[in-house]
Structure 1
Amino acid sequence: MSDVTNLTVAEIRDGFRAGEFTAREVAEGFNANVAAAKALNAFIVETPEKALAAADAADAARAAGDLKPLSGVPIGMKDLFCTAGVQTTAASHMLEGFVPTYESTVSQKLWDAGAGMLGKLNLDQFAMGSSNETSFFGNVISPWKRGSGDNATLAPGGSSGGSSSAISARLCPAATGTDTGGSIRQPAAFTGIAGIKPTYGRCSRWGVVAFASSLDQAGPMARTVRDNAILLEAMSGFDVKDSTSLDLPVPQWEAGLSGNLKGKKIGIPKEYRVDGMPQEIDALWEQGIAWLKDAGAEIVNVSLPHTEYALPAYYIIAPAEASSNLARYDGVRYGLRDLPDGAGLQDMYAATRAAGFGPEVKRRIMIGTYVLSAGFYDAYYTQAQKVRALIARDFDRAFAECDILLTPTAPSAAFALGEKQADPLAMYLNDVFTVPASLAGLPAMSVPAGLDSQGLPLGLQLIGRALDEQGVLNAALAIEERAAFSARPERWW
């Protein structure tokens, strides 16, 4: 038997069902990899005992002929999802030591489907970041290195950098992520894996620590398109506890997978050809177009004229919602409390928030508070919401001409840690291709498609109509089949 930690979710599920190995062997293999990869700092909390308990339950279920969809599959859980009895921090000092007594809806669905938990994955603090450098628990390290031999420590993307790094390094076969402006897709592109942000409302937000409530959406990350379809089926579904949850049946996305795109039209938005985009990214985009043609699709040029305003609008709306959501962390009800001697209530508020939040979180809270303040609300927040509506209308018009949009996922390959930390604007520009779909609430997926000249992964993004996850997955599968991406990082950790 080959090393089980090299297997995909589908291969683990099917091999376990066929009796090729036990679930405990799988869990032990991944537990060993997690323990040996401390240098990557991908996990905040490791839960090997929970992975083994779920594995033993799966082995017993197989003997009894009572298997579940994810029996025998251990996964990583982004530390933004509340997990009963296991510390949940959102990678912030503010929530350090917080142990929920309840389970998020998404994680509960995964456990009900038979999955086991290997641990809680590191992220940018409160999911605010594009490089996983804002975590209170330290930077997550990408398992990839540049081929030039400069030995630079690379960013795994953010905010779901712990998830992307762990999957790429074979510490887990799949993981949960959350995507507010690209935090599933960009880290997936940086580490050579696949990840999908479903339509807003497909996955419940209940029990997920909030960043920007009108944008946050949970989704899966894994090495293949099929694995993403498998995980997304388990994660999705209506939740009465989430007022934004969609009361719709969950499609059988895995069963519907097909790389045959005959009769489909793929739109190429001209506004995504931004100034200064590396030639390698443009060449990969052209290659993706050729692959989709080969799959039977017709290529059409489309326009999304308000794309240039997406990033500015996002960095008004998201901080505004963050300012509101994070107001609850005041040292009174739960989380950190910093109470200096002789301090009054206002002093406690100030001391707690100063100590509990990191610099990027404070920056976004201050931006958000400013744009929501009297005299500036209409000038900034209201205008940004109008731009958001225009962006959504652009997509509606584009989808009158095509079925799926193809774009690059990110404007570059992974950059070195610290390379952009001093320039927040340069960091925010990492989301230039992912933010528009988030503002419109559309399903979008990144799939690995090639390597740059330094041997680092590059991804292509597929964007679909609302609720057309199947179309996105199928187009991603067509690229995956033709790209035949099999590169993996050489182990150095």
Structure 2
Amino acid sequence: MDFFKHDLAAIHTQLVNGDLRTSDLVRDTLAGIHATDADLAAFISVNDDAVAAAEAQDAAGIKADAPLAGIPIGIKDNIVTKGLTTTAASKMLANFTPIFDATVVEKLHAAGAITVGKLNMDEFAMGSSTENSAFHPTKNAWDHSRVPGGSSGGSAAAVAAGEIPVALGSDTGGSIRQPAAFNGIVGMKPTYGRVSRWGLIAFASSLDVIGTLTRTVRDSATVLNVIAGHDDRDATSATEPVPDFTAKIGDSIKGMRIALPEEYLGEGVDPKVTERIQAAATQLRALGATVETVSLPHTKYAVPSYYIIASSEASSNLQRFDGIRYGFRAKDVKNLDDVYVRSRSEGFGPEVKRRIMLGTFSLSAGFYDAYFKKAAQVRTLIAQDFAKVFADYDLVMGPTTPTPAFKLGERVSDPVTMYMNDILTIAVNLAGLPAISVPAGFVDGLPVGLQLIGPQFAEPTIYQAAAAFEAANDYVAQIPGGAR
């Protein structure tokens, strides 16, 4: 199966008509992964038992109203999967095999999707390049000397390279959208609470969102139809009704009002990236939308605010990894202090330890008001900036990333520069908004992403605009190694 030439709807039609057997599709997918992933390194583990699940699908038959039945899917390795090792790309959980599925995995399996493997990531989702994995770095699908982005770099690279048609990722500050942009695919971060976080290994609980990485906008909407919805097991799960996210795809965007913040094209953004976004704005105008410049004045405070809040929540969430209950435990320990200190020192990587220390400091007595409380106040101002803009506009647009993908090893020793790479995506998570990255052309042969941001629960409008933009150009037809 050539996933570059067949979207989910096309594969589904073949499965329903009997022109393709699920078991053959899954075997072919696994064979492709085994043949190509040694170089790309997108997967941490491959589920060879997927063939048995596929054979069960063959026996049951594929129903016409089950668009994900029989579809092979990859899962980011911080989303727990029953009986399938889930490591969060950390030595701390290298041998952890969950006894239950995350809600999103339950929903996918109930819809007939087949999990073919777990995808590489930055350890505990802390990073922007997938170089922080305890196992191996993943490579960019377009240029193997460059990073795939992060933390969902394995998910993005696997889809972009044609190993799988769809993957799940998680987005705490841009971890779906940024790698989607770097790899020239579609990455959707839904509204906070739209998709259950139950079974997602927590990084920053008030920011984490599970979303999709696909080749096309319609494929993304099709998967979100399945995984969205309220979950009693997740206290932050929204009760908002779930619409058909594909319903507006194909509709005209004539009359749609889109804001382009001046801060998103300012200092630090590659001029060539700015050109691509200005070209996208021109294209959206040609499709009937109004695009006007606005200001989101507190954008410049998003990065420091985010890293204080996210690191503080990480410090709290990662206390559970203590060498006692589960996970890595240091050997030859002499006392209880040794268990705690050595297990965490040896089990966590440098970036995770850096953020734990930053978060613990921000929450400590004497510094809480100066750092965490102030960051929370700035978060409110950022959300208010968006609310003011959305009073007059349907969507906000801008580049997904300031630059195309950078070289492997280029920024891994400079955490501040690495953190600034997320400046255009972080504010969306702080405000709990939905956003998508869609291919917007190329800079020096590398993909560039257009980010479209909407008010809470405005995913249908985002998909409408993203699909219209996608249909107006041929970027989806461009693949690593040449156009299909």
TM-score bracket, normalised by the shorter chain, equals over 0.9
The residue number in structure 2 matching 1:472 is: 462
- Once the two structures are aligned, what percentage of the paired residues are identical? 49
Deviations along 1:327-381, whole A, 9 cap, x unmatched?
110111111111424x111111000000100000000000000000000000000
- The CA distance in 2 between the partners of 1:291 and 1:48, in whole Å, is 45
- The CA distance in 1 between the partners of 2:319 and 2:25, in whole Å, is 42
5 Å matches for 1:93-132? 93-132=91-130
The residue number in structure 2 matching 1:367 is: 358
Structure 2 unaligned segments of length 5 or more: list them.
none
The residue number in structure 1 matching 2:297 is: 305
The residue number in structure 2 matching 1:21 is: 20
1:250 aligns with 2:250: no
Instruction: Please state how far the C-alpha of 1:313 moved relative to its aligned partner.
Output: 0.2
The residue number in structure 2 matching 1:148 is: none
Counterpart amino acid of residue 181 in structure 1: G
The residue number in structure 1 matching 2:437 is: 446
User: Helix, strand or coil: the match of 2:49?
Assistant: helix
Query: 1:268 touches 1:406 (CA, 8 Å); kept in 2?
Result: yes
Query: For 2:276, which of 284, 289, 295 is the aligned residue?
Result: 284
1:265 aligns with 2:264: no
- The CA distance in 2 between the partners of 1:321 and 1:44, in whole Å, is 26
Instruction: Please state how far the C-alpha of 1:117 moved relative to its aligned partner.
Output: 0.8
Counterpart amino acid of residue 467 in structure 1: F
Query: For 2:392, which of 395, 401, 406 is the aligned residue?
Result: 401
Instruction: Please state how far the C-alpha of 1:187 moved relative to its aligned partner.
Output: 0.1
5 Å matches for 1:410-489? 410-453=401-444, 455-485=445-475, 486-489=477-480
- The CA distance in 2 between the partners of 1:405 and 1:54, in whole Å, is 42
Query: 1:263 touches 1:297 (CA, 8 Å); kept in 2?
Result: yes
5 Å matches for 1:134-145? 134-145=132-143
Deviations along 1:405-450, whole A, 9 cap, x unmatched?
1100001111111001111111111101000111000000000111
- The CA distance in 2 between the partners of 1:191 and 1:215, in whole Å, is 23
Query: For 1:199, which of 185, 191, 194 is the aligned residue?
Result: 191
- The CA distance in 2 between the partners of 1:381 and 1:117, in whole Å, is 39
User: Helix, strand or coil: the match of 1:299?
Assistant: strand
User: Helix, strand or coil: the match of 1:445?
Assistant: strand
1:238 aligns with 2:236: no
- The CA distance in 1 between the partners of 2:274 and 2:362, in whole Å, is 36
Structure 1 unaligned segments of length 5 or more: list them.
146-151
Aligned length: 480
Deviations along 1:189-231, whole A, 9 cap, x unmatched?
0001001000000111111100000000000110000000001
Structure 1 runs (4+) greater than 3 angstroms displaced: 2-6
Question: What is the alpha-carbon root mean square deviation over aligned residues?
Answer: 1.4
Deviations along 1:8-53, whole A, 9 cap, x unmatched?
2222122322333222222122111100121111111101321x23
Counterpart amino acid of residue 126 in structure 1: F
User: Helix, strand or coil: the match of 2:472?
Assistant: helix
User: Helix, strand or coil: the match of 1:21?
Assistant: coil
- The CA distance in 2 between the partners of 1:111 and 1:144, in whole Å, is 31
- The CA distance in 2 between the partners of 1:59 and 1:404, in whole Å, is 43
User: Helix, strand or coil: the match of 2:100?
Assistant: coil
User: Helix, strand or coil: the match of 2:448?
Assistant: strand
Query: 1:143 touches 1:168 (CA, 8 Å); kept in 2?
Result: yes
Query: 1:340 touches 1:348 (CA, 8 Å); kept in 2?
Result: no
User: Helix, strand or coil: the match of 2:59?
Assistant: helix
Query: 1:131 touches 1:157 (CA, 8 Å); kept in 2?
Result: yes
1:324 aligns with 2:323: no
- The CA distance in 2 between the partners of 1:4 and 1:466, in whole Å, is 32
Instruction: Please state how far the C-alpha of 1:310 moved relative to its aligned partner.
Output: 0.6
TM-score (norm 2): 0.97
Deviations along 1:252-290, whole A, 9 cap, x unmatched?
011331351112101111111221422211111111111
Query: For 1:353, which of 319, 339, 344 is the aligned residue?
Result: 344
Counterpart amino acid of residue 451 in structure 2: Q
1:390 aligns with 2:388: no
The residue number in structure 2 matching 1:149 is: none
- The CA distance in 2 between the partners of 1:61 and 1:263, in whole Å, is 46
Instruction: Please state how far the C-alpha of 1:61 moved relative to its aligned partner.
Output: 2.9
User: Helix, strand or coil: the match of 1:70?
Assistant: coil
- Return 68-77 or 205-214, whichever deviates more: 68-77
Instruction: Please state how far the C-alpha of 1:62 moved relative to its aligned partner.
Output: 2.5
1:31 aligns with 2:23: no
Query: 1:331 touches 1:338 (CA, 8 Å); kept in 2?
Result: yes
5 Å matches for 1:169-180? 169-180=161-172
5 Å matches for 1:58-73? 58-62=57-61, 68-73=66-71
The residue number in structure 1 matching 2:330 is: 338
